A and B are shown apart, each in its own frame.
Chain A
């Protein structure tokens, strides 16, 4: 047995495949944060006054808040004054009009990641809005979308082009006062995506954004806002990787989803940021606030996430079920390897009648990874006949990792029903040996067992994404056995 435990260990240990660093001159603020920095940031982006005020208000709130410490994660204290709050590729003003104008180095970066924009466009028919550091450098398929009436643009652009929508919805799901990181994000958000799907429109393609983090010590503060108006449908894919770096990088994104009556939003994430080395050096701190509101009857919001990266993940995509008969779903696969820590889960808040929610969480821990599932199911007094089903399964590889489950349930309406199932299992030597005895390599065996474990989540992902996710799990566990 002893030998196999060390073998498990070696397969867990693998080099970060997406690790390289693109050298592009950045137009970067010196480190530090105060009201002047917020103003300068807003000015740099040429924002209208309402936006500057909104940021300043958030900044003032942030100063009154303290960093949360309840999550089951450990990291050195972050010095927010040591972070630079603005960084952009060289030519922000005259942004590229086509791919030919994009810095070839950048394109090369995407190439290395195996996500060449051109190919993505042709093969998948996916509109790619690439965020490189803080400024969006490529937006495609605009025409097909605008013909359908769909607005899909960088949020920095939406602030100028669609101020009324931004004013109405920004911060309406995640208010600037929501939590420490959400406040910080509201004050200094860099860029992100904005989507508006008008009444009755089925968005003609999957919307997708690849995020990358680059440039030294630049915190990334993406802000995404997606609005699906009555009877509309949109599926949004978010995937990301980062170059190898030695400094810890803070990433505090906010994603807000608004689904009106009969509308449906499907939000899928594959997250593969740099997790740090085997000793936990470097790696991204990923403190994210993701929340959706089902504002009308029969609205539906589904979060599907595959989280394999980051040194620390703190993330609870949630759904506020306001409309009667509205539906919230959360499907998650989270993998922690080496020294990675993840505290993730969801909140389902039932307000309307006959609202229902489903939670399927699959946690995989290998190496010395530590993982917690934290989920809240809440039914208010008004939530007549609310239903929730939760399933949280943990899979452990080796004997140095950990899995923890913290389910919280608050029910104020006696007609609500809540079902919770949880399992913890270990990838058995017996299972691995069985597969190898049938001719499979150890890595194929691990990846088969792990993918089997995650099946219920993967089937919720769009096809190409599911394939990518399976590959990613395989890569992330390379060296975890063998």
Chain B
């Protein structure tokens, strides 16, 4: 599904990612943890195609093709979805309008017919239930005046509508109360399937109780310094990142 090899990337001339290797197979969920500023969002940005991040070395292969060659919208249409750490507000553009434009852009790319108003509404109502959002949110401007938790839920709603092949969730759990966390997690779990891979960036092992990952990676200083199964998250929780920093040289990609 996704193969990252020796990825180096800089922002404003400053190296941030310093040789990342990561293999995500179809159907797998990988968690990425790591201290603030270690490059987690930068990695997510590289995958989504944000152009202020400059890839200086390495390759990213997605479904057998060079992901880095594609424009952001092409990646999205090919099934790459990023749930943003900080979703932006777009005044005057209703949530439903953006959703519809996005769904139809992606359907068109896949050679499917555009959804008509009725079909679209039916689909969106179904997905709203999944994330327990009220209809009212459809008609508000995109993220405008949404609470932190509502913004995160809105990201999951979009994900559910767009049915991506590779979903990257950047700290979707941050700022969520415990009920919202469960809702988001069940939304994510509902999308788990053998054809779909996910990369879940988080600071809290708590999320991983609900979304159980196949692999956990620790990113520090722009490198994957440790990889393991879900128990790695528990160890991190118990000992903190300094524990890893004291015990180097064990890093393994996986």
Contacts and interface: CB of A to CB of B under 8 A. Distances in A.
Interface in B69-93: 71-73, 75-77, 81-82, 84, 87-88, 90-93
A449 B93 contact: yes
B56 to A, nearest CB: 15
Interface stretch (B46-54, B189-197, B198-206): B46-54
Contacts of B81: 437
Interface string A289-305: 00000000000000000
A441 B102 CA distance: 10
A434 B90 CA distance: 10
Q: Interface of chain A, helix or strand or loop or mixed?
A: helix
Given A452-B90, A452-B92, A437 B76 contact: yes
Interface in A127-174: none
Interface in B100-144: 101-102, 105-106, 109, 141
Contacts of B50: 433
A344 B77 CA distance: 41
Q: Which of A430, A437, A449, A451 is packed against the most chain B CB atoms within 10 Å?
A: A437
Contact of B88 (A3, A4, A430, A453): A430
B76 A436 contact: yes
Given A1-B52, A4-B51, A448-B97, A438 B162 contact: yes
Contacts of B4: none
Given A452-B141, A455-B92, A3 B51 contact: yes
A376 interface: no
Given A439-B162, A448-B98, A431 B73 contact: no
B102 A440 contact: yes
Interface string A442-481: 1010001101111110000000000000000000000000
Given A4-B52, A434-B84, A448-B98, A439 B105 contact: yes
Contacts, number: 80
Interface residues on A, range: 20 to 34
A453 B52 contact: no
Interface residues of B, number: 30
Contacts of A1: 52
Nearest to B50: A433
B172 interface: no
A439 B78 CA distance: 9
Given A448-B97, A455-B92, A440 B105 contact: yes
Interface string A108-132: 0000000000000000000000000
A306 to B, nearest CB: 15
B158 interface: yes
B153 to A, nearest CB: 16
Q: Which of A4, A452, A453, A454 is packed against the most chain B CB atoms within 10 Å?
A: A452
A428 interface: yes
A454 B92 CA distance: 8
Contact of B72 (A428, A431, A437, A451): A437
A454 B91 CA distance: 10
Contacts of B52: 1, 3-4, 429
Contact of A431 (B88, B105, B106): B88
B176 to A, nearest CB: 20
A460 to B, nearest CB: 14
Interface string B30-55: 00000000000000000011111000
B73 A440 contact: yes
A436 B73 contact: yes
Contacts of A437: 48-49, 72-73, 75-76, 81-82, 84
B158 to A, nearest CB: 7
Given A435-B98, A452-B91, A453-B91, A441 B51 contact: no
B167 to A, nearest CB: 12
Contacts of A434: 84, 87-88, 90
Contacts of A436: 49, 71-73, 76
Contact of A439 (B87, B88, B90, B102): B102
A444 B101 contact: yes
A444 B105 contact: yes
Contacts of B92: 449, 451-456
Interface in A182-213: none
Q: Which of B50, B52, B73 is packed against the most chain A CB atoms within 10 Å?
A: B73
Contacts of B109: 439
Contacts of B93: 448-449, 451-452
Contact of B73 (A425, A428, A439): A439
B90 A431 contact: yes
Given A451-B92, A454-B92, 14 more contacts: A3-B52, A429-B52, A434-B87, A434-B88, A435-B90, A436-B76, A437-B76, A439-B73, A439-B102, A440-B105, A441-B73, A452-B90, A452-B97, A455-B92
21 contacts: A1-B52, A4-B52, A425-B91, A430-B88, A431-B88, A431-B90, A433-B72, A434-B87, A434-B90, A435-B102, A436-B72, A436-B76, A438-B101, A439-B73, A439-B102, A439-B106, A439-B109, A444-B105, A448-B90, A448-B97, A452-B92
Interface of A: 1, 3-4, 425, 428-431, 433-442, 444, 448-449, 451-456
